[in-house]
Chain A
């Protein structure tokens, strides 16, 4: 993998980040609603709203507001929350680990569930196991995580009383409590994700197992285990890794729903609250963070794919 390839991917990532700042900024400013009115409430007189808008710099031309924001963001300053009297970075700092941990657990869980089942499914095609596996995938894909989370909560917390209903405990405070609070949210978030990984891996593995070089390897008398894990998996995993990367976005958006449901103070909840109250700097900051995570994950995927199959870096 050459330095040029890495530089190219990095360049793309920066371009995407820059483009997303324009989109993020326009979208939040174009939708109706006004942070000044949100703050003052219906009691706020038009004069008071106007004064506050001026104070917040909301009356400047949009392009000017955009340049100020981007200029500051480049120096690492994402501005101040209009409503929470804290800097956006501070707010993100308090929450971003929570969301990342939740997403990470969901990811690990999804991969741990998806890979073995998909291998089983692909190697024992059209058996009962394969059918059951694919049915599980269909159910997983069709089930909204919000609803699934609620069902998990009703079963494991309300009915059985095994796990807490809501909340978050930092792993630094109490590791056991941390995991017991994260199990249900991670399962709810990871289930749909697992289904996607499962479907992709199974299909690409089936495809690869039908190829000539696999037949050749088998004809050469190689052990089936070796054929599967050394020869087939390496090629079959590329779509899987790509899907895992692209769907990090799915995880982040899913986290918004799951955080609201389980009352976990992460950036998803911060974002929802900010959108509803039109707290522009916070919306921009959180969205930028999500885009960054997404772009970064894709960069990692590109590099990982290049490591798995060096041909991809040479195109």
Chain B
């Protein structure tokens, strides 16, 4: 509480139009209701420091939390951070404010800072699922997968099980991961679960099943070009070139410069023996800036194909190109 006056001095910086302040917010309940209705702009216009000062301690804590949430939702994480920091200085033991601050750090990828807060929260409040979730997510981002798995395990919430399954997949625990996703798909099939299932199956080496799952994901979300591209790439890799190239051509009709679609086309032409056409596509791709890794791969492929004896373990001069009219 000793820091409270300082907090009041800084607060106006994080309020919008405090001159508009005035009596529109009759209670903390109204503020909560506006936040639930996503009316953040309206809420921010009507929160004033005098209103905040008039609240009881409990309601003040809620008000700061609401204010921070509104700043986040309106795309001002800097203002949200300031709000939470002031609030945490005033109420350093309030677990909801600490959680909000940690969540914000996590969202802006300040994972080490988030981690410290989450760890202290779960230590002091072992039955605080939101803190366990935040910590699990943070550990996952940091690559501390064993620790992440432990906290997901503690939450045991259906909503988070997809994330838990993803951690298990990254740990190479295919069977457990598959089982979780399978049970999710049985209750509520959605595209993200199908994508994860496809990746698990591919990781296990079941390529046919993985393509089926990916197709199901794509059917549920036909607007997602990334899924179509992934499917085309997998099909090409698995030797189903005809189907792959049909997908690629349909993407290229809408997005002629799509770098991955172009790359799959280059790969297809290479495997079909149309070297000149392949080199032309690779040359263009290596210049584009939209997908830097694709540019670098294209450049490396171009260099290798242009100088067939320059380092491949097996001489490329014997590459079995099938001459076509394109060459």
Query: Do A and B bind?
Result: no
On B, residues with C-beta under 8 Å from A are none
On A, residues with C-beta under 8 Å from B are none
